[in-house]
Amino acid sequence: MNTATSSITLTLHEGFFARRNWLDWLFAALVVAGGLFALSRYGAYMDVYEKGILFAAMPAAIWLGWFWRPVRVLMMVVVALSLLAIASYQVDGQAHLAQAENVFWLKYFLSSQSAILWMSLLFFMSTTFYWLGMFGGGQGGEAGATHGGAINAQKGEAALKVQGGTMELIGSRIAWVAITMALTGTMVRWYESYLVGADVGHIPVSNLYEVFVLFSWLTTAFYLYFEAQYKTRAMGAFVMLVVSAAVGFLLWYSVVRGASEIQPLVPALKSWWMKLHVPANFIGYGSFSLSAMVAFAYLIKKQATETRWYKLTPIWLLGIALCFVPIAFRERGVAQAGGSYWVGYALVAALIAAGILLGRKRIAQRLPRVEVLDDVMYKSIAVGFAFFTVATVLGALWAAEAWGGYWSWDPKETWALIVWLNYAAWLHMRLVKGLRGTVAAWWALSGLAVTSFAFLGVNMFLSGLHSYGTL
């Protein structure tokens, strides 16, 4: 090995460990201690696969906390709140689900339903503040947003200040709190499911109610990562729209359909594969949705000065798509489907579309450069495609165990394949043919329709082996 090679190797080695401080190592120690505690206390209830997942989760959590340091604070706060909630269910050494109505902070903050309701409110508030920032004063995204340089700055020198006004900053902070409540609600719901019955307990990713919570916080977390890396909060107004739409559906599904009640798993879902397949799948769904909203922002920026109505198609499509939701429930009638709730939803959707249409020039000025939007769109799809591919493979293995075959052309499987082929083609055209610009943005935006149908439409209009969360 020559001197130059030795120098490079030493620099890389020192660079990795130079970024580790005592807080990083303390975080790693806490993660390992927590994992070993969980193993010692609950190991008797785990099979060999679940123990393997636990051991793999520990280094994964450490790496994630080192890679993106705000996440370690998030993890510790969620653990603290979850442990407080779990302790509050104890009475004379026995856990009682009725404590959710008797203990103040359980009833109003930390029981699973209360925490998820707080999550919902906070996501709506975050969206509102992001849009107030979009139309308010303060420095816009165009001036401060950088491309790859911002990422390099994050790794080396002190990070540049994130561009955006006070309202956008508030929206970003509220989004972090919403994620905290979502994760706390998820962890507490997991515990509550065992209080319902030892044979009922399961990880809360088994039905539409639970996966909508998963989708909401995952999508927001991915956006916040890009917000920090590209030093601009201007994309948040668009990304949080899809999160708020998901939360709006979640509230309807919870109140009107009573979906928030913890139910026993159907036999096919009583598998450790669910703990891997579903989260990986929804990382894909969240990333694809994020890329679509960034693509929408890209098209708004490119067409900000356009006056011909037919050139403003992205905005018209947004209004039509959002207003389509009440129509989708036509088979049950308006009253049974939610009545005035969906009428209000349609009115809000129309107002949002009209506001974007009228304020498109101001919005375009606030958004970062098109190169940044294009890069975020590409990276979101790349990450989503990787996890969606893993989820599809895991799903095939799970199907072989549950139903005796890797692939059965079930409607959910068929549409998952359509989603995979859509984004595989997008990435192929990007990497091989250099696909960029308006065509790529339109393709990513239309991908949201394909993804939404695979995620939700199959449950609404089709039936099959995967119909665990019918509407």
User: Which pLDDT tens digit goes with each residue over 12-33?
Assistant: 445 666 678 888 999 999 999 9
Q: What CA–CA distance (Å, rounded) separates 48 from 443? A: 43
Which residue type does 356 have?
Answer: I
Cα separation, 84 vs 106, in Å, equals 9
Residue type, position 416, single letter: A
Residue type at 468 in one-letter notation: Y
Question: pLDDT tens digits for 290-308?
Answer: 999 999 999 888 877 665 6
Residue 1 in this model has a pLDDT that exceeds 70: no
CB 303 within 8 A of CB 311: yes
pTM: 0.88
Contact call for residues 389 and 419 (beta carbons, < 8 A): no
**What is the reported pLDDT for 239?**
95
For position 71, what pLDDT does the model report? 95
Task: Tell me the C-alpha distance between 287 and 391, whole Å.
Answer: 14
Confidence of residue 408 (pLDDT cuts 50, 70, 90): confident
- Per-residue model confidence (pLDDT) at position 167: 93
Q: How far is CA 172 from the centre of its chain?
A: 15
